[in-house]
Amino acid sequence: FAESPQTLTVGAKSFTESVTLAEIAKILGEEVGAPFNSVSELGGTRVLWSALKTGEISVYPEYTGTIREELFRGESLPDEAAIRKRLAREGISMTSPLGFNNTYALGMKESLAEELNIKTISDLNDHPTLKYGFGNEFMDRADGWPSLKAKYNLVAQDTQGMEHALTYRGVDSNEIQVTDVYATDPNINKFNLRVLKDDKFHFPKYEAVYLYRTELEKTHPKFISQLRSMAGRLSDQSMLSLNEQVELDNNSEAEVAARFVRETFQLD
Ligand code: PBE
């Protein structure tokens, strides 16, 4: 097959890691001559998933736990093969995992956690007056606050949703004391947060993958083979480091993505 001249769009959720992974996909595609629009940062999980199904975007980075627990909540998808089969019914395919797990977790200021002796999510119930502030998506998601609260029987009297990017400052200034964090987010270290142990194993694994429209295997086979070559390329540590380069060192996602692709694929 020859590569189709049709211009593709890679979508991203509104956070650094998602945009960086989208930029990586775009660069890999451009390397084999496929034309791309600029990365389309659309919002939250549901928006991206709809845009992929309608064809507004052709590819976006997603997480296995999110596919299983949020997109297909209530359906039994025990393993990767089951996920693939379910996605196929929507005309969507998934690459193999890229290698890291960006799980949700609850975090609080290390100093406060130490003072109150909170190590696990269960420990939170010893302190019912703590204020909780969560990113809006976590607040609503099936695998987020509603089910976490139920699983741990959390007595949270004060809970609010906010833009996720603002939760770290909220914790830092003590406006809230507990928030949802993403495991590969450099803000955990920057703001000196303690990640509470998920002692009841609420959260599944959120392994990063790319979702793409299956028709691209015919129209853009070289691009898809490039995308697939990302399997296993990013450890937890290396993804954290890319996120740091954007969030702490003020590089753009596109710059960080370009450097990553150069360093990772040049030696092959
Ligand atoms: N996560 C944690 C979320 C955001 C970060 C990977 C589970 C998601 O995008 O699905």
- Half-sphere exposure for 205 (CA within 13 Å, toward CB): 13
163 residue type, one letter:
E
pTM for the structure as a whole: 0.95
Look at strands 158-162 and 131-135 and give their pairing.
Answer: parallel
Query: Per-10-residue mean pLDDT for the chain, 268 residues long?
Result: 86 97 98 96 97 98 97 94 97 98 98 98 96 96 95 93 94 97 97 98 97 97 97 98 97 98 81
Residues with CB under 6 A from ligand 1: 13, 45, 63, 65-66, 102, 104, 182, 206
Looking at residue 1, its pLDDT comes to 55
Q: Tell which one of 52, 206, 210 to mutate to probe ligand 1, the residue whose CB is within 8 A of the most ligand atoms.
A: 206
Looking at residue 2, its pLDDT comes to 72
Looking at residue 34, its pLDDT comes to 93
CA 27 vs CA 44, 87, 175, 178, 200: distances in Å: 23, 25, 40, 37, 40
Q: Which spans in the chain are helix H?
A: 16-31, 45-54, 64-66, 80-88, 110-116, 136-140, 145-152, 164-172, 187-190, 216-219, 221-228, 236-247, 253-265
- How far is the C-alpha of 251 from the C-alpha of 268, rounded, in Å? 26
Distance of CA 73 to the CA centre of its chain: 17
Structure ipTM: 0.95
Q: Tell which one of 18, 41, 101, 104 to mutate to probe ligand 1, the residue whose CB is within 8 A of the most ligand atoms.
A: 104
Place of tokens 């741990």: 152
Taking CA atoms only, the protein residue closest to ligand 1 atom 5 is 182
- Using alpha carbons only, give the angle 38, 71, 179 rounded to the nearest 5 degrees: 85
Per DSSP, 198 falls in state: -
Looking at residue 131, its pLDDT comes to 97
Q: Tell which one of 17, 20, 63, 147 to mutate to probe ligand 1, the residue whose CB is within 8 A of the most ligand atoms.
A: 63
Task: Give 157 Cα–ligand 1 centroid separation in angstroms.
Answer: 25
Place of tokens 């999510």: 121
Question: What is the total residue count of the chain?
Answer: 268
Angle between helices 253-265 and 236-247 (to 10 degrees): 140
Task: Give 107 Cα–ligand 1 centroid separation in angstroms.
Answer: 15
